[in-house]
A and B are shown apart, each in its own frame.
Chain A
Amino acid sequence: MFQGVSLDQAPPFEAPLLFFLGALFFGLLGGFALFFDSSIATLHLFTIGVLMMVMFGALQQMLPVVVGVKFEHPFKAALLAFFPIFFGLVLFWSAFWLKLSLLLVGVSLLLIGIGGFGLVTLFKLFKAPYTSPTVIAMRLSLLFLLLALLLGAHLGSSLGLMKVGKSFELLLPIHALLAGFGWIGLLIVGVSFQVIPMFYVTPEMEEKKRKLLVYALGFLVVLSTIAPFIHPKAALIAFITLLFGYLLYALLTLRQLQRRKRALKEPTILFWQIGLGSLFFLPMLFFFDPQAFAIVGIFGFAMSVVFGMLYKIIPFLAWFHISSRGFFDMPTMKEMISEKLALIQLFTHIAATLLLAIQPPLAAPLTILSFLLLGFNLLRPVRIYFDYKKRPSPFEMR
């Protein structure tokens, strides 16, 4: 007989939530930091503090669902990764203002937190009972993350020890390439194969196309990493081909979004469209404005997509966990998020991104406002989850 539902496979909501809250904190800190700095120190508040935190939370949530494997103690695993990353990043950032040698402690903590979580997740992904283009993309993205981490640790330590050698200039763009296009980019590609048909009622992208995209992008990341050691022209050709590979991904995914069964306009679709649309500007910006290239890649593409996903994932998880305890009277996912406020946050985010590409200190107030709005919008589903958590489950009352 039907015996109710079980949450054995899904991690507690608190585990991904911890990472999502960390992302909000670093987004706000990054916004304030922009008033006086837009160097690599502040950039990492957004790349590690916001993007990686959200990615780790999402990975922890998606592993049992998409891959069929799980963390044995999900909340403990989240805590063990979260605190070294949190304090490591704060130290990394403040080292640039206080004392460069603090970088060594910051980098060590980041190595422990990111390396530990990355290795365990990668190990679990290789133990997955089945593979799919999403699983392959996740494996590759984690491999690139670990490589980017090692390179980053080397670069950070050489800065901390004040022993910046000739290799620094060569390794810095490779670190950025692996982190941006290997780790963040490929993970978004893999996750989008799963979440777009799920949340936007579109057909799945054909498996052949998904596989081709993942393998081609992964190969081009490897090629772009090796090519600078062979010839500068080879490096340029490999990287431009990679950018066009991402452009193809954007084109296919935008077409997939156009084919959705219910063509309702809603803010999260716009977040995806703006994120994917940003990829079209990258080849041109790469040649004309490297700073704008980085901003459009990180904020225009990755951050927009991540915001769009958070607006879907957090209400869905809140609903999922509440309903799993037997409640059916909770607000719907649509009622949990105000579309109007999400739209205001979207416009604030776009304006902040444009200003960041032109004049970073001017972008600070809008970046802060964007993260405040994001936090306010996502607070409601979280509050609803905790309200229901306090109540006894109808299953227990039977």
Chain B
Amino acid sequence: MREIVVDTREFEPPAPMQMVLSELQSMLPNQSFVHQIHRMEPTMLFNRLKPMGIEFIVRKDGEEYHIYYFYPEDRAKIQELIDVSRR
């Protein structure tokens, strides 16, 4: 699985949302996922994604949030990748 990293920690709105939405357009099922690093939970973006069938997992690490966006069929693989990377 290809990891597309988007570091939005130092960007003001609406840039973080634009950056993630732009990367999501190149995300493919079984092939890639988007990993956003942000300073807070981007709830407004979550609400735009939910009805589109894109899922996400949030992990907090210190002051940073790591948000993983993926297609539903990739959930198990992403979960495993996150667990491995955080060990």
Contact = CB atoms under 8 A, between A and B. Distances in A.
Interface of A: 1-10, 64-66, 68, 194, 197-204, 261-262, 316, 319-320, 323-324, 333
Contacts of B25: 2
Interface of B: 9-14, 17-18, 21, 24-25, 27, 29, 39-40, 43-44, 47-54, 63
Given A2-B27, A65-B43, A201 B11 contact: yes
A9 B44 CA distance: 9
A5 B14 contact: no
Contacts of B10: 201, 261-262
Nearest to B24: A2
Name, among A3, A194, A201, the residue most crowded by chain B CB atoms within 10 Å (CB to CB). Answer: A201
Given A201-B10, A319-B14, A5 B39 contact: no
Contact of A197 (B14, B27, B39): B39
B40 A5 contact: no
Contacts of B50: 6, 8-9
A324 B25 CA distance: 14
A222 to B, nearest CB: 30
Contact of A324 (B13, B39, B48): B48
A7 B11 CA distance: 23
Q: Which one of B9, B14, B18 has the greatest number of beta carbons of chain A within 10 Å?
A: B14
Most buried by B among A6, A194, A198, A204: A198
A8 B13 contact: no
Contact of A199 (B12, B29, B51, B54): B12
Nearest to B47: A9
A121 B19 CA distance: 33
* 10 interchain residue pairs of minimum CB distance: A9-B47, A6-B51, A5-B48, A261-B10, A197-B40, A203-B63, A8-B51, A65-B44, A2-B25, A65-B43
A202 B27 CA distance: 29
A312 to B, nearest CB: 8
22 contacts: A2-B27, A2-B54, A3-B52, A5-B21, A7-B48, A8-B47, A64-B47, A65-B47, A197-B39, A198-B40, A199-B12, A199-B13, A201-B11, A201-B39, A203-B63, A204-B39, A204-B40, A204-B63, A316-B13, A320-B14, A320-B17, A324-B48
A261 B14 contact: no
Contacts of A204: 39-40, 63
Nearest to A312: B13
B20 to A, nearest CB: 11
B13 A5 contact: no
A204 B38 CA distance: 11
A68 to B, nearest CB: 8
Contacts of B40: 194, 197-198, 204
Nearest to B16: A198
A7 B50 CA distance: 10
A285 to B, nearest CB: 35
A86 to B, nearest CB: 29
A3 B12 CA distance: 25
Contacts of A197: 39-40
